[in-house]
A and B are shown apart, each in its own frame.
Chain A
Amino acid sequence: MTNFNWLLDGSIVGVYLLATMAAGLMVRKYVGKVEHFLVAGREMDVYLGIASLAATEFGIVTCMYTAQNGYEKGFAGATPGILMALAMAAVGLTGFVIKPLRDSGVMTIPELFEKKFGPRIRWAAGVVIVLGGLLNMGVFLRTGGQFLVLVSGLDVKYLEIMMTALLVGVAVYTILGGMLSVLVTDYLQFIVMSAGLIVVTILILMNVGWENLVNSVETHYGAGGFNPFINPTMGWQYVLFNLMLNTAAVLTWQTIIVRVLAAKDTDTGRKVYTRTSFFFVCRFLIPGVWGIAALASLGPVANSLEAMPRYLGTAVPPGLMGLLIAAMLAADMSTDSSYMLTWGSVIYNDIMAPFRKTRWSEKRGLFWNRSIIAFIGVFLLLYGLWYPLKGDLWTYLGVTGTIYLASISVLLIACCYWRRANSWGAGAAILISAVIPITYLVMEQLPSTANLAKTIGPYYSGIATYLLSGAAMVVGSLLKPQAGINLQARIA
């Protein structure tokens, strides 16, 4: 039994859903070209960029894995958020990679690779980005559904129907309005999501109390609950893996980088990065505190992923429950729409590039972009409902994300700053960074190799992927005896 009141809380959720759908559909008339659809005509300004980036990078799935981190690791579980904020601020302040990327005027990262490494690498990079991204996104639906069912007290048999309806709604406005709909709905969703997150956090801090939260972490995890380096489930390898992962994500994660590409100029893109950086601490610490509150209130539970929603279902009063669910729906819808659009943009712009030898009309381009988003929606429904998640959610996302983050970040840095980098190095880096994480995921699923996968662990395999991918780029490029082409010259 939860505190969800169908009349009061249901009305709040209903009004939010109607307002979002109306806003998303309203801007579809501004979409006349593929550039409007994919990067909002490059008209995005700083504050809309901040709202959109923050809303996109916080979904229910984010709330679930960060709360799980808080529940299982205490305050030390917020370490990835601090590392990501540092990386984001550093990149925004220096313009490292994002400046040459935005200056080049491309719509996707692989498009830039073609200028340096040729069309084959562009295509391969597109495939790797979509593979890593869609595997990553595949768990969003079920995890989001788990949260909503547990918090609202709805029968679990409605999970699939509820999430299908939500995805169809999001797909409709994304298909019609593209990036413009994503930006406008993200703005509304940012406000609703933030209001819910802040109010619920203040409620928890007042009800559970800071001392109780700290004592609970101390009792269950000792000093390791506050310091990642001495936490037995984390250690230096966890910190190093997350530093590499989050830096690579800041540089290449399609949903983050699209904000730079959609920005009206390079300075705007850099400001969006710098001013959103601290949000990434909030993104881990706020749900982390919710997870710690669940630990303090419920104690040990069988499924740590479900601890936070179970706790919120009874701790949040009616009225606020409606705001919480609207906030989480906002978080989920903004993430789903942006993810579908940005992975779709890579499929259209890069994977389908060989099939567009002659210039397509804007109408034809828009038709294909919309069809691709619909296809991604169908994939998410199928994959999201049958993939059995093993281990903790953040690690799964880290491992699947590494499939492309390692190679694409290496390629991007080399493309922007290393004259000698060439297609051999790029190909080798892509191969290495796809093979290691996929092998690890397969080993984890097979009974005969599951123990070996557990012994190696996701952090060492992740670190190895980043290091070997970089080494492959260097070795491969040096083996091909030709000078790389200076990107700056190409841009000029």
Chain B
Amino acid sequence: MAKHWFWWFMTMACVVWYSTVTIYVAIKGGADIRHMLARLDATRAREAKEEREG
């Protein structure tokens, strides 16, 4: 481990960072999808209204 500390550190950093980010992004990304679809819905409704009103 001491001899090749750089690669040991990088490998461990990958496992720890990736595990943490996966959980975090899984939670926050789900909220992002809900907000994105809500915004698209709102835009669609607004455009349809504008079209009806000429």
| Closest Cβ–Cβ distance, residue A185 to chain B (whole Å) | 11
Q: Are B29 and A32 in contact (CB under 8 A)?
A: no
Q: Which residue of A lies closest to B24 (CB)?
A: A47
Q: Are A30 and B37 in contact (CB under 8 A)?
A: yes
B1-33 near A? 1/0 per residue, CB < 8 Å: 101101110110111011101101110111111
Interface SS of chain A: helix
| Closest Cβ–Cβ distance, residue B12 to chain A (whole Å) | 9
Q: Which residue of B lies closest to A76 (CB)?
A: B7
Bound form: Cα–Cα A281–B13 in Å:
10
Q: Are B40 and A50 in contact (CB under 8 A)?
A: no
| Interface flag for B35 (CB, 8 Å) | yes
9 contacts between A and B (CB under 8 A): A30-B37, A46-B32, A75-B7, A183-B33, A184-B33, A187-B30, A198-B15, A285-B11, A286-B15
CB-CB < 8 A to B19: which residues of A? 198
| CB-CB nearest 4 A-B residue pairs | A47-B28, A48-B32, A194-B22, A45-B32
The count of residues in chain B whose C-beta lies closer than 8 Å to any C-beta of chain A is 33
A208-235 near B? 1/0 per residue, CB < 8 Å: 0010001000000000001000000000
Bound form: Cα–Cα A252–B41 in Å:
31
| Closest Cβ–Cβ distance, residue A361 to chain B (whole Å) | 14
Bound form: Cα–Cα A253–B31 in Å:
28
List 9 other contacts, CB 8 Å, given A47-B32, A194-B22, A214-B7.
A48-B36, A191-B22, A191-B26, A226-B4, A278-B17, A281-B10, A282-B14, A282-B18, A286-B15
CB-CB < 8 A to A190: which residues of B? 22, 25-26, 29
Given contacts A183-B33, A191-B22, A210-B8, whether A41 and B15 have CB atoms under 8 Å apart is no
**Residues in A263-287 with C-beta less than 8 Å from chain B:** 278-279, 281-282, 285-286
| Closest Cβ–Cβ distance, residue A434 to chain B (whole Å) | 36
| Closest Cβ–Cβ distance, residue A194 to chain B (whole Å) | 4
Q: Are A27 and B4 in contact (CB under 8 A)?
A: no
| Closest Cβ–Cβ distance, residue B26 to chain A (whole Å) | 5
Bound form: Cα–Cα A289–B4 in Å:
14
CB-CB < 8 A to B46: which residues of A? none
CB-CB < 8 A to A51: which residues of B? 25-26, 29
| Interface flag for A395 (CB, 8 Å) | no
| Closest Cβ–Cβ distance, residue B4 to chain A (whole Å) | 6
Bound form: Cα–Cα A32–B46 in Å:
13
| Interface flag for A44 (CB, 8 Å) | yes
Q: Are A282 and B17 in contact (CB under 8 A)?
A: yes
Bound form: Cα–Cα A48–B32 in Å:
6
Q: Are B29 and A48 in contact (CB under 8 A)?
A: yes
| Closest Cβ–Cβ distance, residue A384 to chain B (whole Å) | 29
Bound form: Cα–Cα A282–B36 in Å:
28
Q: Which residue of A lies closest to B48 (CB)?
A: A32
The count of residues in chain A whose C-beta lies closer than 8 Å to any C-beta of chain B is 41
CB-CB < 8 A to A48: which residues of B? 29, 32-33, 36
CB-CB < 8 A to B35: which residues of A? 45
CB-CB < 8 A to B4: which residues of A? 75, 214, 226
Bound form: Cα–Cα A286–B8 in Å:
12
Bound form: Cα–Cα A201–B10 in Å:
13
Q: Are B33 and A286 in contact (CB under 8 A)?
A: no
A190-212 near B? 1/0 per residue, CB < 8 Å: 11001101100110010000100
Q: Are B36 and A43 in contact (CB under 8 A)?
A: yes
| Closest Cβ–Cβ distance, residue B51 to chain A (whole Å) | 11
Q: Are A202 and B14 in contact (CB under 8 A)?
A: no
Q: Which residue of A lies closest to B22 (CB)?
A: A194
**Residues in A312-343 with C-beta less than 8 Å from chain B:** none
CB-CB < 8 A to A183: which residues of B? 33, 36
Q: Are A187 and B7 in contact (CB under 8 A)?
A: no
CB-CB < 8 A to B37: which residues of A? 27, 30
CB-CB < 8 A to B11: which residues of A? 205, 210, 285, 289
| Interface flag for A78 (CB, 8 Å) | yes
Bound form: Cα–Cα A36–B21 in Å:
28
| Closest Cβ–Cβ distance, residue A59 to chain B (whole Å) | 17
CB-CB < 8 A to B10: which residues of A? 78, 82, 281, 285
| Interface flag for A38 (CB, 8 Å) | no
CB-CB < 8 A to A41: which residues of B? 39-40, 43
| Closest Cβ–Cβ distance, residue A79 to chain B (whole Å) | 11
Bound form: Cα–Cα A50–B30 in Å:
12
| Interface flag for A257 (CB, 8 Å) | no
CB-CB < 8 A to A101: which residues of B? none
Given contacts A30-B41, A198-B18, whether A40 and B36 have CB atoms under 8 Å apart is yes
| Closest Cβ–Cβ distance, residue A38 to chain B (whole Å) | 14
Q: Are B41 and A187 in contact (CB under 8 A)?
A: no
